[in-house]
Structure 1
Amino acid sequence: MWWIYALLSAFFASLTAIFGKIGVANVNSDLAMAIRTIVIVVVAWGIVMARGEFKGIHELSKHSLLFLFLSGLATGLSWIFYYKALQIGKVSQVAPVDKLSVALTIILSVIFLKEVLTLKTAIGAILIMVGTFVLIS
């Protein structure tokens, strides 16, 4: 079942790139990102409230809150740079470079999370990197 959610994520991420490129035309990239963020905040909190999941906020540990904060900070920085890149670059080149995050995540998961790097995963990460460089050159 996880792969269905992952495919949906990939589909909507591709729409994010297309809609973002159109939306950032003749608009300051930081303003565009801020508007996008408001929409995300409203949708995310709407889902939490509709499902009655807000009550779980009191159960969050300081450790979880710290890393959720850091994750949010990293996401925000990613979006700032992504929108700036979309504004000045071709979406067909920006999106693949952005997806280098997949290969970087594999590397960082081995370093920080002590995940096992299999030959198959290593080859996949290398192919992602090579494919990205082919697309942008």
Structure 2
Amino acid sequence: MDSSGWFMWALLSAVFAAMTAIFAKLGLEGVDSDFATLVRTAVILIMLAAIVLVLGKWRNPLQLGGRTWFFLVLSALATGASWLCYFRALQLGEASKVAPVDKLSLLLVAVFAFVFLGERPGAWSWFGIALVGAGVFILGLKR
């Protein structure tokens, strides 16, 4: 286990992501998915602002470099698009099918990290990533 603690945070992320799917599915009844995403985003903004302020992590955003701004804005746009698509999929489909297909992002992150960041997962990692891709394919088959 890595001593930096990343694995614990990644596991917590997975737990909260699973809770997100269930709570969102329950909360989407009778509500437009785009509006629900807006409400969710507003709550996230308030929660994160409170955390940053309480923990004393606030800094002047104007002091961030142009490259940092560029990539944070691109990340925010991608996140927003992902959330809109995820909530729409949850509204139309079963959470137990939507959430695993959403995790195809694992395979895509590995490929993008290989191409754009020069990361080189080992053979065992690629095998696991391929299994995730195969699982998504199986889940997507019509039954």
Q: TM-score, normalising length from structure 2? A: 0.91
Per-residue deviation at 1:58? Answer: 4.4
Q: For residues 80-114 of structure 1, what are the alpha-carbon distances to aligned partners after superposition, in whole Å with 9 as ceiling and x for unaligned?
A: 00000000011111001100001100000001111
**How far, CA to CA, are the matches of 2:81 and 2:119 in structure 1?**
25
Q: TM-score, normalising length from structure 1? A: 0.95
Q: Which structure 1 residue ranges, 5 or more long, are not aligned?
A: none
Q: For residues 43-75 of structure 1, what are the alpha-carbon distances to aligned partners after superposition, in whole Å with 9 as ceiling and x for unaligned?
A: 111111111111253441110011000000000
Partner of 1:49: 53
Query: 15, 22, 29: which one pairs with 2:26?
Result: 22
Partner of 1:70: 74
Residues 120, 56 of structure 1: alpha-carbon distance in 2 compared, 3 angstrom cutoff: farther
Q: What is the percent sequence identity of the aligned residues?
A: 43
When structure 1 is superposed on structure 2, of 116-125 and 50-59 the one drifting more is 50-59
Secondary structure of the structure 2 residue equivalent to 1:54: coil
Secondary structure of the structure 2 residue equivalent to 1:71: helix
Per-residue deviation at 1:136? Answer: 3.4
Query: 90, 93, 108: which one pairs with 1:89?
Result: 93
Matched, 1:118 2:109: no
Q: State the superposition RMSD in angstroms.
A: 1.2
Q: Which structure 2 residue ranges, 5 or more long, are not aligned?
A: none
State the 4+ residue runs in structure 1 displaced beyond 6 angstroms: none
